[in-house]
Amino acid sequence: MTLPGPLHWINEVLAFLLELAALAVLAWWGWQSVENTVLRLLVAVAAPAAAAVVWGLFASPKATIVLPLAGVLAVKALVFGSAALALYALGRHSWAAVFAVVVTVNTVLATLDRNALMHK
């Protein structure tokens, strides 16, 4: 299934915004999860930094280490799942559910679209 041009780009932009949202949520969770200011700052920086490094190595379009599709999807599930769990831990249960659903739909559409484009 190939998405029509405008929908392809909308889905790609949404994917990027979801990636940024995941990093922001991990930083927010890091800041809220620890009381000590130094540790709070450390976790607020380290959580999204770790996610960004893992994403850049394995899941980005220009990944350093090329994984098969199942590996890329596993990394995406790890990063986005962590963000959804972070939202849940922050008491934003509805946001966590909505985020998880939107990420899932976006990832499924993007995967189907990329596979269709590769096999043309």
Query: pLDDT averaged over the chain?
Result: 94
**Which is nearest to 82 in space by CA: 41, 33, 38, 36?**
33
Predicted confidence band of residue 117 (pLDDT cuts 50, 70, 90): low
3 pLDDT more than 90: no
Q: Where are the domains of the chain?
A: 5-118
Share of the chain above pLDDT 70, in %: 96
87 pLDDT more than 70: yes
Asked if 3 and 113 count as a contact pair (C-beta separation under 8 A), the reply is yes
Q: What's this model's pTM, rounded to 2 decimal places?
A: 0.92
41 pLDDT more than 70: yes
Q: What is the pLDDT of residue 120?
A: 64
Predicted confidence band of residue 7 (pLDDT cuts 50, 70, 90): very high
What one-character DSSP code corresponds to residue 65?
Answer: S
